[in-house]
Structure 1
Amino acid sequence: MWDPIGHTVRVTNTPWAPGTATGVGSMPGADPYEAANVVVGELPDLPHLPELPGRGLGADIIGRTAALLVDLPIEVVPSGYRTAARPGHEHRHAVDLIRRDIDALEEVIERTGVRPPVVKVQAAGPWTLTAGIELARGHRVLTDRGALREFADSLSEGLALHAAEVSRRLETPVVVQLDEPSLPTVLAGALSTPSGYGTVPAVTEPDARDVLAGVIDAVGGATGQPVIVHCCAPRPPVGLFRAAGARALAIDATLLQGIPASLSDQLGEAWDAGMTLLLGLVPGTPPVRPPTLAEAAKPALDLAGLLGFPRSILGERAVPTPTCGLAGADSAWARRALTLVRDVGRAFVEPPESW
């Protein structure tokens, strides 16, 4: 197993301070003002622009991200999302939902009078996006190299514009999180065709890395901030994300027990290189018994020990989050979950004596 003892750990500047916590993205319900109130109140150092997939089509990860694309309108068909010749009702609806979300977050921040040092926005990464949209002839976008490149370029431009608008409206820096839940399936050749009767051929790691790197480079260059890549799969492709230029990785730390040595190596090398790990620690849905502070922090403490780092690494380069989005939670648990990750973040910096 990779052992960092004797290595000099490099520190990477990030726009968030030690002890910061944040959310993954989604929140329950359909009221953007209620969601913004919870996020700003519980996560004052790194609030995120809430996503509310409970509002239906156009509010889910694919529809929401498609609304950010430049000159690539999308429509809804029985099998899902498909490219369209011109913007239709569904596209305009998705764009309007994002505008309402920004309005709500701006109003809540203005009302509290406390401007956060940085705000996070989320969108599907290029592989998850193109896995979830069909071309006019019925194939997934990622199966057409030219269409894939066009979508990646449009996503880069749209995200840069989106981040710039949020930054201008909220008068604070914005970091972008690219969500890639579908990438492990794409790499494994396990993505089904739209018909459901076959699978899409596997994408090679170099090809996946290069497309993702193009988006990360463009978005990071536009915002001047590190780009986060999020994947809550049990075995996220950490090495690929790092090679693509991600400066922070968001993963579900509760799924890391028993991971292979190769993944341990990749995680250790990422931390040693100065990357921040956003560690999912608190359940995204109401548990039978809410975890204590120590129970919530345990996967992070175990990870530091597994990789051979002192626990102080958690205060320096770890950001606690829920294990994934909170769309499946009720409003009470969503608030409590974010309170708990905030408390864990502070405990990373000033650990209780019981630790």
Structure 2
Amino acid sequence: MYTKITRSGGRQYLQLVEGYRNEEGKVRHRVVANLGRLEDLNPAKLDPLINGLNRAIGRSDNTAFPVEIESSKAYGNVFALHELWKDLGLDRALGRAMRSGRRKIEADALVRAMVFNRLCDPMSKLGCLRWLDTVAMPEMPAKVEHHHLLRAMDALMDNVDRVEAELARQIRPLVDRDLTVVFYDLTTVRIHGEGEVDDDIRAYGMNKETGGIARQFVLGVVQTAEGLPLMHTVHPGNVAETKTLQAMLATVLKRFPIERVILVADRGLLSLDNIDALTSLAEQGGRTLEFILAVPARRYSDLVETFRDMAFDETGLAEDRFAGHRLIVAHDP
């Protein structure tokens, strides 16, 4: 049996209809009951009939059906990120850099999932697993476990140079032709715990956060004037900042179309000791190294004799030579 809505004289009626076969085996139907005008029917009139039918077959009343609410998976944010990921060519870059016939995990998809998690709801690896259960991530493996994420990170580290080179190639069109301004700075990241591993970069050094000695590693970031990150560097916690500059500059010059190199730094990052090495590095591409260096001496006392004979103008500026370089001093009484 089933319900049927019929029309007569401009009105609609609800009928209970039974289907059957006649003696010739043909399908026919007949009206079992007329339930009334459709516009006059409401739950108060129909629920008793529905409940009676439910009771006849051992079901609960219509008004007592349990309601189960299941949450849907979020799709909007990860879909937008996925399209950007493809438009920027990051999927192709990771695929080329991390291609391996021996690896049985989809490392590039897992790395993408962890990147999206950092953008949408930053969590740990275990937190990322919980987050994946709440989103409809496109093109993901059927089952992702904690060790899969760890193995994807290992694969990323094993191919870090190739990955960064491929990513640099993809973002080149987003960088201005001359790459006129590049910012590079270092910070320290403290580490808690006393465990050690082979080739451990965690070492005791001067921590920028506390101003004291701490177990740490050093993180460097290179970005454009617009804030577009180009690359990052990781160093042992006891490294001297000046020793990181040459390797960073060599990598940036190799990956990006830089025509003019001007280094602006304080004494912590750029010293007279490494200017010669940096100059020869810049000259390899037919460039000339230009730099603005604050306090180009190991001790202020090295500048005493130079300062003694300086003649300051009415604005408090004076110019001289120091260690073969142009020295400009701004004096504030």
Q: TM-score range by the shorter chain?
A: under 0.3
Normalised by the size of structure 1, how large is the TM-score? 0.26
Larger Rg computed on CA atoms: 2
Give the helix-richer structure, 1 or 2: 1
